[in-house]
Structure 1
């Protein structure tokens, strides 16, 4: 699944082509996505696009009195193409621009979404999200306060979008390794000092991934068609049985919340 760095990479890739343009029309070929595409989406005409933002893993196209939200789901991608570009299989939605180009949404698994957000950030899908990991509102103090009394594992805790948005499976593993925290440790039993280190680690890992262009996954390529490169820098994710990059001990694999997890039993406590 594309995680926050992949979504931010996509936003940066397509923003120059859409911000300041006019959304002239929308073509919906397949409305049966994760949530059915609202019929009002197909009726949008001649709407100036004020900005393209991101909240968690949602891309938000500011159309003035409403926002058009796009979630890439498990396998969704966005491409800016000429209007006469031949369709590919699973090209479900086209957003037509006054430049003659089209922002094309492709999603083989149909777990993504195109959302009509008349309520903006108060929409139920967005209203209860936690802070952005790269914003000043996110800190070790926030993690410490929110974790008190929690028995859930720290990995599941930081992957909860109500705690902090966008820390998916890959980046949770990488951040916990960098902070030296075992993924199974109960969230409520971690000190303030260690949470401060973890918050810095989350920031560092995500910022580096965004700079590198996102992590290359089977289903993800950047908006310009080129793969990301952060996968070459992963320390633990997908490396069970290989030597720890810090101490050389074999990395261990396990599962937390039905998600695969790799960690170093010697370096992470």
Structure 2
């Protein structure tokens, strides 16, 4: 495995690995969910590139940038054991300069749900993903469905800017008890982890309601909120793939999303229907 720490080192490494290229961008603290993305990239491409970069521009003031889990040695080992060909591990100076051009999120879809509570967050996400895609030039790039709004906006950016890359959505990976894997799960105490299961339980109940023919969004949201209590719920939303609110679930074009704080840890989860 080649470890590249600058744009030039990455360019040099890519020249040694011809053929189709699968790319998995991450912020490190790798877990089984990331491993699933890497495995898919390995199956479908001749070269696999993973990036680890904790992107400062997507964190708002007061958020957990300084506390975000960093596990360099473990992450490198996971990448090596997963058959990664090139690991891109830049620092901030390799990715950003002063007073540079940035990508901005769309006026509507970039400022609802995640964007409403974290204004400017998606500007940072889209900016760094644009940079990484332009550096790696992948055939395919792999993103988890758990960050559904992020996935939708990245897909829109690729379309709007006529970028030659296939965005591959991957299903959310869960623990045996249903908790969606997240690097932030390490912040949860044992008691908080049990409380966090209310997110997946609420989504499971929503799925059951739809299967029983209860497709009214208001009814589903109300039932989910009861299950989520007394968590600090930020939103429960039912939208289509374009992130437009729905009055009723439409099978094949619906995402049910939830965001809540468990203690001081903010968690998100969703189910695609």
TM-score, normalisation: structure 2: 0.26
* TM-score normalized by the length of structure 1: 0.26
- Between structure 1 and structure 2, the one with the greater Rg is 1
- Give the structure with the larger helix fraction: 2
